[in-house]
Structure 1
């Protein structure tokens, strides 16, 4: 998935959940960020990032941050686009599906997708895994009531005889597997194991951002999931 030409920026500090102060061309700018995780490993003063122009209250949008052999794609909107593109190209062999609808209402939540997989309908939620540990991509990096609620809704769907799946987008280079970050949210880790036991599919795939090509590259169409 190719993007526009990025501007290299330098992280200064995170101002709030949605805005990061960066330096672009020697000047301080405000950059929008779509990822509400803590991202403490990436939003480090002096670290290089990659920005695209943005309309609105911020002049830029921070999409990626330098990492080993490429960059971590921290932008959750682009992570979703990478999933949709891979799905449309048939690159995810474990998901021979098409998008039936986006943001379906389920209980008190809205999930990301309702997919049509042959004759079946499947509710799907995507989660961003950009925390690294010994070759693993992990989620979450902080407590997430919203994440727990989504997993609980998927469990209810599966228990009622429906099809449900949670997909972790490991959006950083050189990872070989996914696992929940127990220290980030112990309760969520327990819920994920329960979800798998109740019939919810737990999947993961990996992508990263290539600054030289300004492209999001699919690395592994399926990662091992260690619950």
Structure 2
């Protein structure tokens, strides 16, 4: 996935009120950018970190810039949580994710289960539908190890239960962890942060939910799925 406009570089001053961030641009001016991430952003919001912003041409937007990337020292990290569905969808269509390849149809944000929406629904007349839930992974507390979640996520727990129910109804279901950074060689659940999520994950996996974890190539030009990385349980 390529960014639609060249990104603007700057330095993080602070992130606040969850969705706002103050950034000093290279010319010394300071702007307030939209932070499209409701999570804790643990390890990614320290003042002084290098960041990249995407500009908007929409004159009606209150904030001209959106915070897209941050570099905490070892890798660019994608923090915009509205992008992973497109990144993974593009990779599936391009055949980069072999376990999910070969379907003739792909739809995003389809209603299913108990008042939920699945991130990606893969369809084909010759096989059962496949429900794919995508989670953006940005946390890395130990070098080389990506972790999820970075905060308690009751919504994530609900999604795991919904996926397991779809398997029991005769469909495929997959939990896809997209590591939006390129400096990690393995992935694990942050059980100390949300033990309830880990319990739901183990239950969903035992009920037939498939699990995939891929990292990305990521730079100010774009973000693309790279390769599968090992999950450590």
> Normalising by structure 1, what TM-score?
0.91
Of 202-211 and 122-131, more deviation after overlay is shown by 202-211
Does residue 62 in structure 1 map to residue 67 in structure 2?
A: yes
43 and 208 in structure 1: CA distance in 2 versus 1, 3 angstrom threshold: farther
- The yes-or-no answer on 1:165 pairing with 2:174 is yes
Corresponding residue number in structure 1 for 2:229:
223
- Tell me which moved more, 148-157 or 116-125: 116-125
Distance 1:191 1:199 in 2: 13
Q: 1:76 aligns with which of 73, 81, 87?
A: 81
Q: Structure 1 residues 99 and 14, CA, compared in 2 at 3 Å: closer, same or farther?
A: farther
Partner of 1:49: 51
Cα distance in 2 for partners of 1:138, 1:46 equals 23
Q: How does 1:1-227 map to 2 (within 5 A)?
A: 1-3=1-3, 4-24=5-25, 25-54=27-56, 55=58, 56-68=61-73, 70-96=75-101, 97-106=103-112, 107-116=114-123, 118-132=126-140, 133-211=142-220, 214-220=221-227, 222-227=228-233
- Post-superposition CA distance 1:81-110 (Å, at most 9, x none): 221221111011111135432212221211
Question: Could you say what secondary structure the match of 2:83 adopts?
Answer: helix
4+ runs of 1 displaced by more than 6 Å? none
Give the 3 Å change call, closer, same or farther, for CA 142–7 of structure 1 in structure 2.
same
Q: Size of the alignment, in residue pairs? A: 224
TM-score under structure 2 normalisation? 0.89
Per-residue deviation at 1:69?
A: 5.1
Tell me, yes or no, if the aligned pair for 1:70 and 1:208 is still in contact at 8 Å.
Answer: no
Any conservation in 2 of the 1:207–1:216 contact (CA below 8 Å)?
yes
Cα distance in 2 for partners of 1:48, 1:102 equals: 32
Check 1:184–1:201 CA distance in 2 against 1; reply closer, same or farther (3 A cut).
same
Provide the C-alpha distance between the structure 2 equivalents of 1:81 and 1:194, rounded to a whole number of angstroms.
Answer: 28
Aligned partners of 1:68, 1:86: CA distance in 2, in Å?
A: 27
